[in-house]
């Protein structure tokens, strides 16, 4: 895809999806990380249904760090993969206290030392809490659309992120994933993309229009 078409797609995404706030519910940086950990292979809507109960019982890192895994599992079961997620949540809380005194660090390298925190979660946290752009968040929607738009040929999130960082202006990194995720949810469906109503179809090599 030409640089001109890429620029046009990014501009259209900006126009179509001006609202780039995080749709996960949280009241503290600690709670945001927990919500993102729960969002793996799960919708934001489901996570937002679960977190009020979780944070009512375990509102802080100190409370969660001392939790029993079975108690956490009961509260998050409907998000799927609940055993691993409960393990990661408790491990994250314990490491956050031990390594950083309970305060979230401001670099990807430091954040990814915490259990359950990969580059995706780290990018979300840095952008949402600190307004820092170290990279681009890559989830399943971003993976799918980046391939369909011809921006990458990879399925590995780190390689996709590297490809996107080369073509997306850095000042757009904080917002780009939010826009692409919204487009993936509303238009570019995984099974049946609605190319006939897609504002990007004229530039998309995968369009069936």
Q: Output the CA angle 120-205-4, nearest 5 degrees.
A: 80
Helices 82-100 and 29-38 cross at an angle (nearest 10°) of: 150
Pairwise CA distance, residues 26 & 41, whole Å: 19
Of 120, 156, 170, 202, the active-site residue reads 120
- Sign of the four-CA dihedral 160, 37, 78, 86: positive
Pairwise CA distance, residues 32 & 36, whole Å: 6
Pairwise CA distance, residues 102 & 94, whole Å: 9
Span between the terminal Cα atoms of the chain, in Å: 17
What tokens does 135 get?
Answer: 């990279």
Pairwise CA distance, residues 14 & 62, whole Å: 40
Q: Residue 170 catalytic?
A: no
What tokens does 61 get?
Answer: 């890192």
Of 44, 77, 139, 163, the active-site residue reads 139
Q: Residue 120 catalytic?
A: yes
Pairwise CA distance, residues 39 & 44, whole Å: 6
Provide the annotated active-site residues.
120, 139
């Amino acid at each position: 895809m030409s640089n001109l078409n890429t620029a046009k797609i990014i501009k259209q995404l900006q126009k179509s999806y001006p609202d780039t706030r995080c749709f996960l519910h949280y009241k503290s940086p600690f709670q945001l990380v927990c919500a993102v950990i729960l969002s793996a292979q799960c919708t934001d809507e489901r996570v937002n249904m679960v977190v009020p109960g979780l944070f009512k019982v375990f509102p802080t890192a100190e409370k969660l760090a001392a939790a029993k895994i079975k108690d956490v599992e009961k509260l998050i079961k409907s998000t799927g993969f609940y055993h691993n997620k409960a393990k990661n949540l408790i491990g994250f809380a314990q490491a956050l206290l031990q390594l950083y005194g309970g305060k979230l660090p401001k670099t990807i390298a430091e954040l990814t030392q915490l259990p359950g925190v990969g580059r995706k979660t780290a990018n979300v946290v840095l952008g949402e809490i600190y307004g820092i752009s170290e990279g681009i968040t890559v989830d399943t929607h971003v993976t799918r659309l980046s391939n369909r738009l011809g921006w990458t040929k990879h399925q590995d999130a780190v390689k996709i992120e590297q490809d996107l960082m080369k073509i997306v202006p850095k000042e757009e990194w904080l917002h780009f994933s939010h826009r692409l995720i919204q487009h993936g949810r509303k238009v570019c469906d995984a099974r049946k993309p609605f190319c006939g109503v897609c504002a990007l179809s004229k530039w998309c090599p995968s369009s069936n229009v």
